Chains A and B, each alone.
Chain A
Amino acid sequence: MSIELLFENRKLIGENILNIIKDNGYTKSSFSRITDISRPTLNELIKGEVNSLATFKTHIQKILESQNMNEEQLLNYVPKSKTKKELIFALSDNAPENHALNPNAQEMFGILEDIVHMCELYYN
């Protein structure tokens, strides 16, 4: 099987990568570090939005090596975990409608999301 075939099915490959991350106890950030793929690129891979075959090849190779998988296993990956619900918030927030979060607050919410994801992995 060739990486070109994976490239043609890159939306599905993206979903499979996300399932591999969830099933093996990684966060997107920790997975990006162990595969040496930047977080924005990893997000593009997961969404199936990498449109350059060369870039796609380079990064898929890194994932295959880190997970000790071949192309066929990645294409036909069966998720171990059922799809989890998205984050649900019960907020204590009375901000006006046009209120925008400042960049520091946005960054902290990103960190909080990563922490909650780890809570999900370790408290279940």
Chain B
Amino acid sequence: MSELITSKNLEQVIEKNKLIKDDILRLTNDFTVRFNKLGVTGQDKLSFSVLKENHLIQIPIDDEYWGGAIITKGSIKIPVINTAQPRVYQYFVAWHEIYHLFYDLSLRDETHNIAVDMDLNERRADYFAAKMIFGNVYDYYYSLDDEDFIDRVIKCMDVYKAPYKAVLIELFEEAVTKYNDLDLKEKILEHFDNKPENLVQKFIDLELDAELVKPSYVVSLGRLEKKIQSVMKENPDVSHHKDNYQFLLTLKNKIKKGVEGLVK
């Protein structure tokens, strides 16, 4: 479980980030070299394309807190993203889960398992996500002409496709550790716990694409459907593959009915 970050523990979070920064930057470089051989440039597309190669399940779950998971069962690891959450969260969660998928020592085989501080482990996953998403958000924030603090933050959300709090944490870190920007620090602390209530309308008012702050409700079961179809073709006499395939279609229909209920 990720710790809930508030204005009260924001400085502690930045202190934790200092401890893991070098390690996480090494991992972001490693990721780019090993997993982006095709040179995908959109960070949102890159994270999803890598997860899809690892059988990503996209499923809408009606829960505002549950963003996703890596489910380990036997020898397999399956990434899951909750598509009932706004797209900005999905993009962040995708990178968070990539950390768990490739770099989380607590999810390795039992023989390689070591004692892991779970709070710090989650901080590492969040920090990895932030470092994969953000470029120079501090300079971008100051390049904006708008006077209103919230408008600037929303424009940062739009450019980096990042959640409200993630933008503020990144700005806070730069303001505190790099520029000693006390004015920005105070503004962030003042607004951190008061996320704007109607982000969709705020995006529309600022002439931005509001889809980013809406759920996508995508339903995808990875390549499971095709995999079972191909096994059925190879083994036409084995009846339980056909049975499992029908069962999978039933599950898919149930999910789609659930989506209809959420969209209404």
Partners in one complex: yes
Given contacts A24-B240, A30-B244, A108-B60, contact A90 B70 (CB under 8 A): yes
Cβ–Cβ contact A115 & B67, under 8 A:
no
Within 8 Å CB of A120, what residues of B? 73-74, 76
Query: B237 an interface residue at 8 Å Cβ cutoff?
Result: no
Cβ–Cβ contact B227 & A105, under 8 A:
no
Cβ-closest chain A residue relative to B79 = A90
Cβ–Cβ contact A108 & B62, under 8 A:
yes
Given contacts A111-B251, A123-B55, contact A92 B76 (CB under 8 A): no
Cβ-closest chain B residue relative to A112 = B59
Cβ-closest chain B residue relative to A103 = B62
Of A93, A115, A118, A124, which one neighbours B2 at CB under 8 angstroms?
Answer: A93
**Number of B interface residues in the complex (CB < 8 A):** 52
Q: Please, what's the 1-or-0 string for B68-85, where 1 marks a CB less than 8 Å from any CB in chain A?
A: 111111111010100000
Which residues of B (56-105) have their CB < 8 Å from a CB of A?
57, 59-63, 65-76, 78, 80, 93, 96-97, 100, 104
Which residues of A (1-42) have their CB < 8 Å from a CB of B?
24-27, 29-30, 33-34
Cβ-closest chain B residue relative to A113 = B71
Query: B241 an interface residue at 8 Å Cβ cutoff?
Result: yes
Cβ-closest chain B residue relative to A122 = B227
Query: B1 an interface residue at 8 Å Cβ cutoff?
Result: yes
B242: min CB distance to chain A, Å? 10
Which residues of A (76-124) have their CB < 8 Å from a CB of B?
84-96, 99, 101-102, 104-105, 107-109, 111-112, 114-124
Cβ-closest chain A residue relative to B121 = A90
B102: min CB distance to chain A, Å? 12
Among the 9-residue stretches B27-35, B204-212, B254-262, the one with 4 or more Cβ atoms under 8 Å from chain A is: B254-262
List residues of chain A with CB under 8 Å of any chain B CB.
Answer: 24-27, 29-30, 33-34, 84-96, 99, 101-102, 104-105, 107-109, 111-112, 114-124
Residue pairs across A and B with Cβ atoms less than 8 A apart, 12 shown, are A26-B244, A30-B240, A30-B244, A93-B1, A93-B65, A96-B65, A105-B62, A112-B59, A116-B71, A116-B73, A119-B55, A119-B224
